[in-house]
Amino acid sequence: MESFAKQITIDRSSPVPLYFQFAQQLEKLIETGVLPPGTRLSNEVSMADQFGLSRPTMRHAMQHLVDKGLLSRKRGVGTQVLTNRIRRQVGFTSLYEDLERDRRRPRTEVLSIETVPAHGDVAVALRVEEGTEVVAVERLRYADDEPIALLHNHLPVGTVELTEEALAGAGLYQLVRRAGVTLSTAEQTIGARRATAAEARLLDETRGATLLTMVRIAYDASSTPVEYGCHVYRASRYSFEMTVAAR
């Protein structure tokens, strides 16, 4: 019998769906460390019988947690608890700094650094005329040797001198600050979409997997745009958190 069985109770008189009751309680056990990463669970048939649920209900509950990135299913291995997801407070910080703070061993693979003409959203965001040269950077960010984000940034030429070596060892905002630029505010939008084939390959996801997106424009103390970023994150390994106050 599963060691955590006594910590999950199913209320059949509750209006909350049975699958969600089970999934919610199992998620809590994962988040609190009762079921640490790597824990193997019994097969769905055994668990359904154990908790008095139908097999479709148990399958729905487990799929719900797989979709949230808390469990994985693999042939020959079964169902396992995944490494804890990275939870990032929505604020004016760089991903590299957040990972360092949480001791998640950040590593960066610089895919490209080049000077390109600004067009469309980039020109609008940086308040430059179409065709103005800007610096474009593409990076793949790792945490604990696992890819979690694909980062695209554009900056006005002359904002900061960027090299592959510098970007591999620090966050972009750290380099911008070291160059004497005071970062003041940012506008950002968070969303979600399906991964392209190229993104899925780089992020070790299946084609069409859900990715979180963040678009950000950062400003200096004089409210001049100094960086425009378009990033995608693995929804199975990453989440944004925010505190909301009532008015």
| Cα(236)–Cα(183) distance, integer angstroms | 31
**Model pLDDT, residue 1:** 43
Residue identified by tokens 């929505």 is: 90
* Helical spans, DSSP H, in the chain: 18-31, 44-51, 55-67, 95-101, 120-126, 164-169, 172-178, 197-203
Q: What is the pLDDT of residues 46-90, one digit of tens each?
A: 889 989 999 999 998 988 888 777 788 777 778 888 765 555 544
With a cut of 70, list the residues of the chain below it in pLDDT.
1-2, 83-94, 96-98, 101-102, 104, 238-247
Inter-axis angle of helices 44-51 and 55-67, nearest 10: 120
**Which domains does the chain show, CATH number per domain?**
5-81 (1.10.10.10), 86-241 (3.40.1410.10)
Position 102 scores a pLDDT of: 66
Would you state the pLDDT for residue 97? 67
CA distances from 162 to 71, 131, 196 (A): 39, 21, 28
Calculate Rg over the CA atoms of the chain. Answer: 22
Cα–Cα distance between 210 and 193 in angstroms, integer?
Answer: 6
pLDDT at 243: 52
Instruction: Look at residue 77 in the predicted model and tell me its pLDDT.
Output: 72
